[in-house]
Structure 1
Amino acid sequence: LCEDKTTPKNRDEKEILGYRNALNLIHENYPYIPVKPNYILQLHKELLKFTNLSYGGIFKNTANEIDMRLPDGTMQIIFKPLLPYETPQAIENICASYENTLNKELVDPLLLIPCFILDFLCIHPFNDGNGRMSRLLTLLLLYRSGYVVGQYISIEKAIADTKEVYYESLAASDENWHTEKNNPRPFIKYMLGIILACYREFEERITISEQAGAKSTAYDIVRYYVTQKLGRFTKNDVLNSCPNISSSSAAAALKKLTEEGVISRYGSGKNTFYASNTLHSTEQQTHLR
């Protein structure tokens, strides 16, 4: 889908394609996309472009609630967003407040951005796609403030991998939001942790390439990665951490390293994973001895 090699066959795939296009818009044009309601609506329209939903690019026309399913199967309402008639003005207000505060340099952008996203999620301005829109807007605001790590590391994946903590911090920060007495700190701390984790992962990837050497082969790069890796890992983990090598090169390197006894292979097929038989490289082992 992302490489335009097939067409979407169901709603999930249509949503993936829409998200990809909206993401590309932000990657390529973020300096020219201001934080204004009309631009937010346009991004939402792009997000739902390939679905048969009629409300892409339009604020919600029915009340929506944020709920969760309990272990017994019943649904529990955990937050009631603003009503449809309140939504357009609320989005106008948070956009104006964000730009005004940012221009006055009253609050660091890394603190201000989570506050904007928190308000956006509490307003819940669309019938569908609010979570995806919040992540797109997070990227947009970070890029416009000079934090472009999302071009190299998936912030969306970092959030998905910690979704339980995400929902906990959101629930803690939206309490009493309607009366303007909520405490945004839990959500701010969570988002700062996500951004920091993405920068650390980016730094790790750069370090792998640098330590392996400019003239390193795919084998050299994979070998350096696996000798630093603690615990189990898969071929996809290797590809994510060594993005400059191909899938076939990674597979060949893993096969050779297994034969050499540097790593051990477990499972088969899609369940295949590996584990390093040594945590440190040869040079580090010599130094430690």
Structure 2
Amino acid sequence: MRSFSKKYLERLELPLGTMWLLGECMEFKGKQQLWESRRPEVLSALKEIAIIQSVESSNRIEGVEVESKRLRPLVLGNSRPRTRSEEEIMGYRRALELVHLKHSNIQVRPKTIQQLHNRAQEGAGDAGQWKSSNNEIIEFDSKGLRSVRFIPTSAKLTPKQMDQLCLGYAEESQKDRLPSLVLSALFVLDFLCIHPFRDGNGRVSRLLTLLLTYKNDFHVGRYISFERIIEENKIEYYQALKLSSQGWHQSKHDAVAWLNFFLSTIRMAYKELSEKVSGTDVESGGKTEIIKKAILEEIGLFSLKDIQTRCPSVSQQMIKKVLADLKKKQLIELRGRGRGAKWHVK
């Protein structure tokens, strides 16, 4: 849309720092095929962790949380939602699954974006529908005072601008004038400035980030959660968005702050992936962390079977080993023996 106008792209200059970030991402991309061919068992172990973290973080950014005991069964499809928050968790998981499995066949067009929203907002009355009334982006200062940070595209103009955004992205992708990651970042920025839905724009923007990186052969989002990295750098995320949205309606905005944040997110994900695939026994280590987190999040007494339910992809033997290690470190204690034995976090 605004970032894809001919005049804007002609005057867009990428600073040295931005080019450096881009270069690092491209260097990591060159290594991913080697990692995927040589360490498939490691990457397989990372996939489940990334999915759980993505669902948890993307919803938590939007203020949606569920009990820790319920999160994994919901994400792994082993439980049905009981509340509206749990419906949103399940919805995002299904949307994420669609992108992971079908990204090569998904076209970047308005209908696709509405379908992603429909899945992510499953159960909402306006899921998959453009906003019907104008909206505002609100922020609160340290004293709790409310102010309007940005006024997105009007509801009336939203369908047209979404059409223009997808068309502009498709045309620029064919020209090969700008790096694909830069075009992806500009697409997500424009999407957030249009803010086409009443609710769920943040979630869909993160799904689009994953989709666009996939389609440009950057696979890191499959193994490392973009959503978790964004949540961990939430202040920088909102600051970059604020800076780069100023003057957007007039195509006078400066996208560099957003480009740097977007590329930094990709780089951090690749750096983390590089460290994990270069480590030893990563598959076991990754699953150990899943078990350990599940155990330490338990409230009250719990059994071996409870942990098996929360961690269905790991063996009973591995769970027993982690329990023994945590007991040795005096983080948990055992009460009783045999089948009726229970554990408790100290």
TM-score calculated relative to the size of structure 2: 0.64
Q: Structure 1 residues 270, 89: CA separation in 2 closer, same or farther (over 3 Å shift)?
A: farther
Structure 2: unaligned runs, 5 residues or longer: 1-73, 295-312, 334-342
C-alpha change, 1:196 and 1:247, in structure 2 (3 Å) is farther
Alignment of 1:271-286 (within 5 A): none
Aligned counterpart, 2:10: none
Deviations 1:203-230 (A, max 9, x none): 122122xx349xx9x5xx58xx99xxxx
- 1:229 alignment partner in structure 2: none
- Per-residue deviation at 1:106? 0.7
Q: Distance in 2 between matches of 1:258 and 1:18?
A: 37
SS in 2 for 1:84: coil
Offset of residue 266 of structure 1: 6.5
2:9 aligned residue:
none
1:256 and 1:4, CA in 2 relative to 1: closer, same or farther beyond 3 A? closer
The one-letter amino acid paired with 1:23 is: L
Alpha-carbon shift at residue 74 of structure 1 (Å): 2.9
Is the CA contact 2:130–2:159 (under 8 Å) kept in the aligned structure 1? yes
CA distance in 2, matches of 1:196, 1:56: 32
Q: Conserved in 2, the CA contact under 8 Å of 1:235 and 1:251?
A: no
* Whole-angstrom CA distance in 2 between matches of 1:147 and 1:247: 35
SS in 2 for 1:78: strand
Aligned-pair Cα RMSD in Å: 3.0
Distance 1:253 1:135, change over 3 A: same
By how many angstroms is 1:100 displaced? 0.6
1:71 to 136, 142, 147: 142
How many aligned positions are there? 246
1:202 paired to 2:273: yes
- Pick one of 218, 224, 234 that aligns with 1:147: 218
Distance 1:160 1:248 in 2: 33
Q: Which of 81, 85, 91 is the matching residue for 1:18?
A: 91
Structure 1 pair 270–114 and aligned structure 2 pair: CA distance change class (3 A): farther
Q: What is the distance in 2 between the residues matched to 1:247 and 1:202? A: 27
- Residue matched to 1:54: 125
| 1:253, distance to aligned residue in structure 2 (A) | 4.8
Residues 238-270 of structure 1 deviation map (CA, whole Å, 9 limit, x = unaligned)? xxxxxx9668626725844985xxxx6679999
Question: 1:173–1:184: 8 Å Cα contact kept in structure 2?
Answer: yes
- Of stretches 66-75 and 93-102 in structure 1, the one that deviates more from structure 2 is 66-75
Q: Which one has a larger percent helix, Structure 1 or Structure 2?
A: 2
Cα deviation digits, residues 46-77 of structure 1 (max 9, x gap): 2222x2x2211111001111011233333211
Q: 1:137 and 2:208 equivalent?
A: yes
Q: Secondary structure at the match of 1:67?
A: strand
CA distance in 1, matches of 2:224, 2:78: 23
Asked if the contact 1:173/1:183 (under 8 Å) is kept, the reply is yes
**C-alpha distance in structure 2 between counterparts of 1:31 and 1:170, whole Å:** 28
Tell me the residue number matched to 1:118.
Answer: 189
Residue 172 of structure 1: aligned partner: 243
Is residue 2:305 matched to residue 1:249? no
What is the TM-score with the length of structure 1 in the denominator?
Answer: 0.76
Following superposition, the deviation at residue 5 of structure 1 comes to: 2.1
Summarize deviations over 1:11-60 as a string: whole Å, max 9, x none.
211111111111111111111111111111111112222x2x22111110
Do structure 1's residue 42 and structure 2's residue 115 form an aligned pair? yes
Matches within 5 A, 1:179-218: 179-208=250-279, 211-212=280-281, 218=284
* Secondary structure class of the residue paired with 2:133: coil
After superposition, the Cα gap between the structure-2 partners of 1:270 and 1:132, relative to the gap in structure 1 and judged at 3 Å, is: farther
The answer (yes or no) to whether the contact 2:326–2:332 under 8 Å persists in 1 is no
**Higher mean Cα deviation, 125-134 or 32-41?**
32-41
CA distance in 1, matches of 2:110, 2:236: 29
Contact 1:158 1:194 in 2 (8 A): yes
- Change beyond 3 A, Cα 1:265–1:101: farther
Distance in 2 separating the partners of 1:68 and 1:54: 26
1:90 is matched with which residue?
161
Cα separation, partners in 2 of 1:12 and 1:257, compared to 1, 3 Å: closer
SS at match of 2:77: coil
> In the superposition, relative to structure 1, how do residues 137 and 247 fare at CA in structure 2: closer, same or farther (>3 Å)?
farther
Assess if the C-alpha contact under 8 Å between 1:69 and 1:75 holds in 2. yes
Post-superposition offset of 1:138: 0.6
Alignment correspondent of 2:104: 31
Structure 2 equivalent of residue 283 of structure 1: none
User: Equivalent residue of 1:35, what SS?
Assistant: coil
Structure 1 unaligned regions, length at least 5: 227-233, 238-243, 273-289
Which stretch has the larger CA shift, 165-174 or 245-254?
245-254
Give secondary structure in 1 for the equivalent of 2:130.
Answer: coil
Sequence identity of aligned pairs in percent?
A: 34
